Amino acid sequence: MTFRYCLGIMRTFPGPLARAGIPLTLLVTAVMFLLTTALVTAALPAAAVERPGIVGGDLLGARGVVVAKGATPLPPTTAAGWLVADLTTGDVLASKDPHGRFAPASTLKTLTAVTLIPRLKATARVTPTWADLNVDGSKVGLVQNVKYTVSELFTAMLVVSGNDAANTLATANGGIPKTVAEMNAEAAHLNALDTQAVNANGLDDPKQLTSAYDLALIARAGMQLPAFRKYVAIKSSHIRGPGRMAIPIGSHDKLLWNYPGAIGIKNGYTVKAQATFVGAATRGGHTLVVTLLRTNPRYWPEAAALLDWGFAATRAGISPIGQLVDPVMPTPSPTPNAGLHPAAVNLSASKDNGLPLLPTGVVGAGVAVIASSLLRGRRRSRRRKLRLPPL
């Protein structure tokens, strides 16, 4: 196979190679190096390929329940994936399938907020479009001919989960495609590598996914923003309707209403995702976060029980099982490819002609060999042209 490749190149490019001054033997050596390395790399067993570690610690790669030895028994929960962590220290106290990828429902709006709060001026006024208002799912009841402040829209999105408010914020930011690209860039910046956003409101899409661990990272980033903390802690407010009408709104976060020390964040629900939830509470100088994915619609008693367990475990000095990692520095600038999640990259993919794509280092080495040969050939050619006859 390697010999045929080399022979084909020699037959196809004899003129250009000769004019460039590239010895055919050197080119054959370079091509054989590239192809042989590709074949050897493909033949390596999976265990021999270097893989990145689990974000937050190896124990968080488990699919089942993980907790430190000697900890008190955990309360029962129906969630397919969950996590309890200390937002101050970043210690993960217990989890179940924390990196399992599930549909986020409206908990994705926490990423929308973390992405857009620094980008949009709170006092700026925005008029919703017809498309913003005619979105599926829960809506706050925005009106097309009313100008809303960005602050009103964040309140509507985070307090009553208005999909119309989420879309209007995306419009204010330059459109949904741009906003989604920036959301995915923000997720990558936070090391939330299980998260892939497709829209700004969390409505179901097969490609839209997150994890219990990622929701905790996003919540931790959000709670460092004063505006985010204010919005998610609101129990009751109002939104302007037609004319001078004020539409009352109340938080959908049942934990915020029922749990002492609760400081809010966000719930979600769709038929596909089932109930999803991110909640935080402060007690005894510690702020804990609990995240639940694919759980019972009556989620808040489960969240409350896990928080109770977490505060008791913190007082007892339980050993953490992992860590909420810090963001990547510096914050990446959104690019046209920001919407592509790192998990979508397949290094073992093949081109249409069946040739394996080579690792960057291998390609670089081969290119360096060929480029060096080209340069030497051109220099020899130039030296010949500049060579003067003897006097």
Same structural domain, 116 and 207: yes
Tell me if 309 is assigned to some domain: yes
Tell me if 226 is assigned to some domain: yes
> pLDDT at position 133, please?
95
Domains of the chain: total = 2
> pLDDT at position 329, please?
80
Token pair 């949904």 is found at: 176
Same structural domain, 183 and 230: yes
Tell me if 391 is assigned to some domain: no
> pLDDT at position 241, please?
83
Tell me if 38 is assigned to some domain: yes
Catalytic residues: 106, 109, 161
Domain of residue 374: give its range: 2-49+349-386
Same structural domain, 306 and 364: no
> pLDDT at position 145, please?
87
Of 310, 326, 344, which one is at a domain's C-terminal end?
344
Same structural domain, 89 and 7: no
Tell me if 290 is assigned to some domain: yes
What per-residue string of b and e applies to 273-291 under the rule 16 or more CB within 10 Å gives b? bbbbbbbbbebeebbbbbb
Segment-wise mean pLDDT, segments of 10 residues, the chain, 391 residues: 45 48 50 42 32 85 96 96 97 98 98 98 97 95 93 98 98 98 98 98 98 98 98 95 87 97 97 97 96 96 98 96 92 42 31 35 40 39 36 32
Tell me if 325 is assigned to some domain: yes
Structure tokens at 60: 């968080």
Token pair 């959104």 is found at: 334
Torsion sign over Cα 335, 337, 343, 346: negative
> pLDDT at position 341, please?
35
| Element spanning 66, H or E | strand 65-67
Same structural domain, 160 and 34: no
**CATH number, domain at 257?**
3.40.710.10
Among 321, 306, 346, 330, CA closest to 98: 321
pTM: 0.73
Same structural domain, 265 and 368: no
